[in-house]
Amino acid sequence: MSSEIVQENNQANSEHETYYVPDSSRLPILTAIGLGVTLFGASHWLVGSSVWGFTGPQIFLAGCLFFAAVLASWWNTVIKENMAGLPSDQLKRSYVWGMGWFIFSEVMFFFIFFFVLAYVRIYSLDWLAEDPLWEGFSAEWPLMQTPDQAVNGDGAKFKGPDAIIDPWHLPLLNTILLLASSFTVHIAHNAIKAGKRGLFNAWLGATIVLGIAFLFFQVEEYIEAYQDLGLTLESGIYGTTFFMLTGFHGAHVTMGTIMLLIQLLRSVFGNHFKKDDHFGFEAASWYWHFVDVVWVCLFIFVYIL
């Protein structure tokens, strides 16, 4: 009886693949070092200090270049392994879960910034308006007059903007561009699943063009904000939250556009991706849809409400 049980267990074990254990690699620690140097440089950039004769922007740029080089090497290794058919089904599932958790972390990243915006508008402004220290300050949003400006007048350190951004101008245009890019990347996804590489390349290229157009008009919006509207990073909490949310989103659009561009180059020059094996593009498209959803929330809560 016991021999039969052992035989059944051996048969059950043979139906499962061996648990995947990654090979030893220096790439994770090098990635951490590159990211650490980047953040170290960014912090010194903000405070205007230098380290051993190197300024904050120089350290930041060096960290970014090192970080990008390590990631390029890492992704190149993964792509070669996949093209050789080395990854098991278990490893491929780990890629899916990894991308899912990464996007979830990005959701939480933006959630805290939206929470800050809501906290300021719902609670902080009313508290400041009721505080006798800031007599003359009225709670309103967008905040055209900071508490410091209400008390000290022209001598205030932080001044509100001269005007607010019209949501039905450049922000609306950018909303249309990003929503359109969601459709084009979806069509590209359907095309590669159908094995139509030409259509895939065309629609993916259109998505990238829309992403670049979005970034161009966001730069135009920033120029208009600084030069014409007086809306800067020093425009109190209104300016801070505006540039924090839209700036980080712009950085994510830039990263998403680069991700999609890499997928296009892989398809055009490397003939990568098959109908049933295109997770590199699929992961980038998930990220792009996430970026689009965040912008819709920005358009509603930052520009309109």
Nearest to 286 by CA among 200, 174, 144, 189: 189
Token pair 């990008």 is at which residue? 68
pLDDT surpassing 60 at residue 185: yes
pLDDT in tens, 197-225: 999 999 999 999 999 999 999 999 999 99
Supply the range of the domain harboring residue 65. Answer: 26-46+55-72
* R_g of the chain computed on alpha carbons: 25
Q: What is the CATH number of the domain that holds 266?
A: 1.20.120.80
93 located within any domain:
no
So what's the pLDDT on residue 189?
Answer: 95
Tokens 């084009």 appear where?
Answer: 184
Whether 302 is in a domain gets the answer yes
- Per the prediction, the chain carries an average pLDDT of 89
Return the pLDDT at 187: 96
Of 183, 301, 162, 286, the C-alpha closest to 234 is 162
Helices assigned H by DSSP within the chain: 2-14, 27-47, 56-83, 89-119, 125-130, 147-152, 170-193, 197-227, 236-270, 279-298
pLDDT (tens digit per residue) in 101-132? 999 999 999 999 999 999 999 999 999 888 88
- Give the model confidence (pLDDT) of 227-273 as tens digits: 999 999 888 889 999 999 999 999 999 999 999 999 999 999 988 89
Q: Is residue 155 situated within a structural domain? A: no
Q: pLDDT over 90 for what percent of the chain?
A: 61
For 25, half-sphere exposure in the C-beta direction (CA atoms, 13 angstrom radius) is: 14
- pLDDT grade, residue 80 (50/70/90)? confident
107 belongs to a structural domain? no
pLDDT at 233: 87
- DSSP secondary structure, 18-72, as one string: PPP-PPP-SHHHHHHHHHHHHHHHHHHHHHT-EETTEEHHHHHHHHHHHHHHHHH
